[in-house]
Structures are given as C-alpha cells and as structure tokens.
Chain A
C-alpha cells in the first residue's frame, strides 16, 4: 500500500457535494478518505501543497479518438492518455472507429489493457455498435461489455438504419449501457465539408445543414421514447437539435447529450481562408447555434461537455480543404477553452463547469468517479482557474497538433492530475 496523500492549502470545488471552500483532501489506498477544513494529516502521509490552486474531481471525457490501432501516426493509446491527464482528464472513453474498428471482445480487451499499462488517464473502451461499423449487423454487445466496453457507438458515422437503431436501444438495456449516436443524415450531408451558410456559399465549399444533425436527433429521441433505451447524442452543434433534446428532457426520456468545447465558442467564420484546422464534423456553425448550445448546457438540456478529441497528422491537414480530414485536437485545450467560453463571461460558475466536465459525465454514465465523496476513487485535478496561458501546439502531449487555437490565450491551467490516488501529471515548471 502506498502512503496516504494529504492535499492542503487549496480551494475544493466539488459540485457533487455542493462544496466550494478552502479545504484539505485526504487520500488513503487510492480512495477519498476525507475532505474538510479541519481534517488532520496522518503522520505517514505525503503532502501536496495546493496553495493558490483549486481542487476538483478529475475531468471525464466520454468522447475521444485515440487512433490505435491503425492510426498510430496521429495518436496512440499512450500519447492520447498522456494528453488527457495533461488536460485534467482522469477518465476518457475511447471511440471504436479505429482500423480495424473495435467490434469484438479481443479488441475491447486490448484497448483496456493498453490503457492500463500507460498509467495515465483511465481509458475506457467504447465498442462498435455494428460489425465493422458498417451499420448493418449488431455487434456481440454482451461480449463487448464483458470485455470492458462501457458503451456502443458507430461514431465517425451515424447509425443510419432506423430499424438497427431501434434494436440497439432495446438490446443495450440488458447491459445498462448507452448508445452513443453521431447524429447526421448522410443524405443531407452529401459530401459537405463545413457549415451550410453564408461562408460556405462565399468559399464555394459544400455545406452541411443544421437539419442533417437535427433530423437524426429528432428520429433518435422518438426511438428512445419507443424503446426506453439510453440514447446519448454526441457533439450537438445545431440549435434545432436542442429543441428536440428539450422535448425529450421534458418528457423524462432516457436521453442525454454532449457538446464540444469548440462548438461552445467558435463559429464558421474561422473557416475563412480555407483553414483546415477549423474543419470538423459536425462543423462549426453560427453564433446563434453557439448561443443555443451554450444555453442548453447551462440549463442542463445538454448534459455534459466532451472534447471529440480528433488528432490528425500535420500532413493530413496541410492539404486542399476538401481533402483534409475532419477533427480538432481537444484534450489539452478543453478546460481552458471552456473557462473562456462559459466561466469568464459569467454564463456559468466554476462549480457549474466542473459539473459539466466531471460530475455530470459520471452521473449520466453511472461512473463511481466525478466526486470527492468519501470512498470514491481518488481521481483529482488541481488547477489554477484564473491563470492565462497561450496555446502552443508544439508543447502538446498528444502526438498531433491540429488545433485552430494555436497562439490563442486561454484561461485556466491544469497543474496536477491524480488518478486512483497516484500523481500522474504535474505541469512543467512546477515539478
């Protein structure tokens, strides 16, 4: 057994227990033992000085792409997991759209084991919803769950077939896992590469209308109503999708959803000049969409923030816009960008943000983490919420550097990340 860890001098923000106070945190045997202003330090404890820092439950990201196997030139499980702890994430859910896709128990087991071996963020595999992510035949979901899968998804692509989506939402109930849906009607996307609107019209780029997403969200919430299955809508970007999600929440359906940091603040204007770093799917949309998804997140109509971390190699983005892949490298900028998008302008409190990035994901997905309550796994993040820093992709822990935020000043810097009571990340210069 390792020595107890005593974190003192910091401000604890834990919305799961409604705590926002100066307090110490005691970790024993990898679990939270106590949180409070007057807890005493055991004689044998290792001390971590958190003076000037804020202490919260570790961030949880239910949507990342780690690219292994098959895309190791972009990222692998090790580099992705290290990028995650550098970004304050103690748990990440790995999407199965690798090459080959994670659609059998051996592949799920591999991702899980490889994630554990890195000893960085907790890596939880998501299994493919259909074999080969082809959208035709359901995977052996029970076997995938047995091997460690926490959800199923064909992300990268939508589950297009309504009948298959219905069966997924029914069958997954046996295992109490959600179906994560990349909501996009391919007939409406039609080869689009950015938001359909003024900028696409001017640039002569094919557009993806809001309806491509919202139409499928509408269908899927109806299927959740029909089946009672847990639908989780990935990366909501369109204001019309929010209307359908609100409809679902009002009826108490088992529907949850996420929004990415970039959709909370960036717009299609960033694509001007054919900026492939801003090419992402779903695309960056209009200010009115940004406002709608932000308000939905504040209200709780959208439950959580997830990065959709999508690393791509430099050469792949250094191309004609049509030919560059979709995706933004998100893990290491997520917290800073969310602080800037939500907390700095006063749309949300810091505690509210921690709920959407930690407690919320744990709550909707039924995880034991995302809280500093006694007995919870000691997944903790220490950060300086007001510290300004400039995004320098050359310093990313991710193998890729594809971000439209290079050179941008963000607010809120991750200082130390603790997983299961073990200090796994300390920011450079503070070690």
Chain B
C-alpha cells in the first residue's frame, strides 16, 4: 500500500475516528449510500474487491460485528478468512505481533481486528503493511459502529449537524461511546453522556461532552439517545448494585420517552438486555431504529473496505455496477 492518502482522506487504516476528519466521515457515509442497495438485490454480490484477501481476526467473541464485516466483504467479492482466538495459535501463546506477521507472510490485503485490549488495532497497524480496520479495541474505539450509528441518524433526521445526541449507560467501558463522541462532534453534532458517575470516565467533560446523571434530564435535552448495553460483569465488579436498580434509575422506558419535548430517536448498538437498559416497548416501538442500524452496518463497512482498497467516493455508484 502506498503511503499517500487516498482521495477519501483515509490513510492506510481505520483505527478510530479520533484522527479522521469530518469531511472524511462525510465521504464514508456518502459512499455507503449507493452500497445500501446491493444488500437489497436478489444476487448480493459485486466484484469491487475481487481478488482481495481479508482476514477477520477476532480475539473477542462477536456475532454482529463479525457477521456484518463478513457480509460486507463477501458482497464486495473479497476472499475472507475468519480467525477466532479460541482454537488459534493465540491460545498456544503466540504474541499479537507474531500472529500478524504470520498472516502478512501469507500475503493478505486487509485485516479486521477485534481485540480486548485498547490500542491493539493501532499496534497491529503500526507493524504490518496491510490495511487494518478496527472492529473494536478494548474500551478505546469501534469506528464502524459509530459510522453506522451516524448513517442511521442521517437517515432519520436528514442531517447530523446540530443534532443533540446523548449516549446512555456504561460509558467508561464503551468503545462505541468514544467513537461516537469523536465522529458526532466532527460532524457538527452536540454530544452528551448519561449514566451513574461510576460508569462515566474521569474528565470526559474535557472532550467537550455534557454529562447527565439523570436520564430524565437527558431526555429533555436530546434529539436522539444511543443506549449502550449494560454488561452483567459491571454489576459483579461493583460499578452498580443491581440490574434491577439500573433499570429503575436509568432504563429507557416509553413512559420516560413520552415526557420528551420532541420525538426522540432511539439507537442501540446491540446486543440488547431487554428490561435492563431498554424496555421492549421502546426497542420494538416506532421510535427505535435499531434494526436499521444493523442494515446500515453492512453498507458502512462496504464503504470503508472500498475506500481503504483505494476506491474513490464519487465512483462508488459505478463500482457497484461492476464497472472496474
């Protein structure tokens, strides 16, 4: 891969949205638009990435993200290999850098990495010449999730600029939160977070983020809520006393949403804990765009793959027709 930045403004890798400009984010979302249609076809395949080899390197269990990437890769015609941590050389004690170099030696083009340690995607990107896409690193970033969230918001509101988006829940352990904060702010939205202080990272205000400790206040403020999954482990580690209490204090319920001054759009990156952070009436109700997020996830990942492979945003429409 050449060092020069591509026409999209992306570099070699997509490690996070922290170092991606607002214009580039816009270009990714614009590129995703024409790719949406591919997944609606009877024959869901175009030859945009024909001949490219992509490794999905998943050190953490993942269903949605891994399948979404795999669909995106396959629908663009790439050859893919999935490597999961269990059953791989990782359990035999191989280091991340050795795993990466061995894959590289097999002449691959791209790696999608999901890893439990913050910084793992950057670590890999710094050490191999292939394109690296961060599929979630520890509590750092999950850029394609934020991009699909933003695409979904754009579908709902027709814009991102000026929106007030509140991310609700376990912010401290959330890579989704960080990527959304960077991406939304660069796109002109206002971002807040809401949750108990025990789940809000120190000095997050310095990132230009408003903090709510009451969900009712967040609902008064926001155009949209992005409700994060509350993991059971957090309760066991003493961050909150119980899931039941969490639902009572922070649960997004229809009753609470009905008090909002405007129709709030509700996102959730999944997988949901129904009755904990979100009630089923909301998840399945008219204000939820949760399944649109999943659909958009494939299109956004296609766009990222296409752009990192050197594609130009304005040629995406032609590319998907198979005109190479």
B residues less than 8 Å from A219 (CB atoms) = none
Pick from A201, A205, A274, A323: contact of B204, CB under 8 Å: A201
A381–B118 Cα gap in the complex (Å)? 44
Instruction: Say yes or no: B207 contacts A202, CB within 8 Å.
Output: yes
Instruction: Say yes or no: A197 contacts B202, CB within 8 Å.
Output: yes
Instruction: Say yes or no: B178 contacts A204, CB within 8 Å.
Output: yes
B115's closest neighbor in chain A, by CB? A320
Interface size class of chain A, counting residues whose CB lies under 8 Å from the partner chain = 20 to 34
Q: Does A209 contact B (CB under 8 A)?
A: yes
A96–B151 Cα gap in the complex (Å)? 57
Instruction: Say yes or no: A204 contacts B120, CB within 8 Å.
Output: no
Instruction: Say yes or no: A203 contacts B140, CB within 8 Å.
Output: yes
A322–B97 Cα gap in the complex (Å)? 15
A194-220, CB under 8 A of B: which get 1 and which 0?
001110111111110100000000000
Q: Does B201 contact A (CB under 8 A)?
A: yes
A residues less than 8 Å from B204 (CB atoms) = 201
A323–B139 Cα gap in the complex (Å)? 14
Pick from B138, B140, B175, B203: contact of A197, CB under 8 Å: B203
A321's closest neighbor in chain B, by CB? B119
Q: Does A273 contact B (CB under 8 A)?
A: yes
Instruction: Say yes or no: B97 contacts A198, CB within 8 Å.
Output: no
B residues less than 8 Å from A196 (CB atoms) = 202
Pick from B117, B175, B206: contact of A323, CB under 8 Å: B117
Pick from B116, B138, B178: contact of A202, CB under 8 Å: B178
Give residues 114-136 of B contacting A (CB, 8 Å). 115-120, 122-123
Q: Does A287 contact B (CB under 8 A)?
A: no
A201–B139 Cα gap in the complex (Å)? 9
A318–B98 Cα gap in the complex (Å)? 11
Pick from A201, A205, A273: contact of B207, CB under 8 Å: A201
B201's closest neighbor in chain A, by CB? A201
Q: Given A318-B97, A319-B95, A319-B96, are A201 and B202 also a contact pair (CB < 8 Å)? A: yes
Q: Does A250 contact B (CB under 8 A)?
A: no
A304-343, CB under 8 A of B: which get 1 and which 0?
0000000000010011111100000000000000000000
Instruction: Say yes or no: A322 contacts B95, CB within 8 Å.
Output: no
Q: Given A198-B203, A200-B202, A274-B123, are A205 and B118 also a contact pair (CB < 8 Å)? A: yes
Q: Does B18 contact A (CB under 8 A)?
A: yes
Q: Given A202-B18, A202-B178, A204-B139, are A322 and B118 also a contact pair (CB < 8 Å)? A: yes
Least Cβ–Cβ distance between A320 and chain B, in angstroms = 4
Q: Given A209-B202, A322-B138, are A315 and B207 also a contact pair (CB < 8 Å)? A: no
B residues less than 8 Å from A319 (CB atoms) = 95-97
A203–B140 Cα gap in the complex (Å)? 5
Pick from A207, A273, A323: contact of B122, CB under 8 Å: A273
Instruction: Say yes or no: A204 contacts B118, CB within 8 Å.
Output: yes
Give residues 202-248 of A contacting B (CB, 8 Å). 202-207, 209
Q: Does B73 contact A (CB under 8 A)?
A: no
Interface centre among B96, B118, B138, B178 (most CB of A within 10 A): B118
B97's closest neighbor in chain A, by CB? A318
A203–B207 Cα gap in the complex (Å)? 12
Instruction: Say yes or no: A321 contacts B207, CB within 8 Å.
Output: no
User: What are 23 A-B contacts defined by CB distance under 8 Å?
Assistant: A198-B202, A198-B206, A198-B207, A201-B203, A201-B204, A201-B207, A203-B119, A203-B140, A204-B137, A204-B140, A204-B175, A204-B178, A274-B119, A315-B95, A318-B95, A318-B97, A319-B95, A319-B96, A320-B117, A321-B119, A321-B123, A322-B116, A322-B118
Across the A-B interface, the 10 shortest Cβ-Cβ residue pairs? A274-B119, A204-B140, A204-B139, A320-B117, A204-B118, A201-B201, A322-B117, A198-B203, A321-B119, A198-B206
A binding-site residues for B, Cβ under 8 Å: 196-198, 200-207, 209, 273-274, 315, 318-323
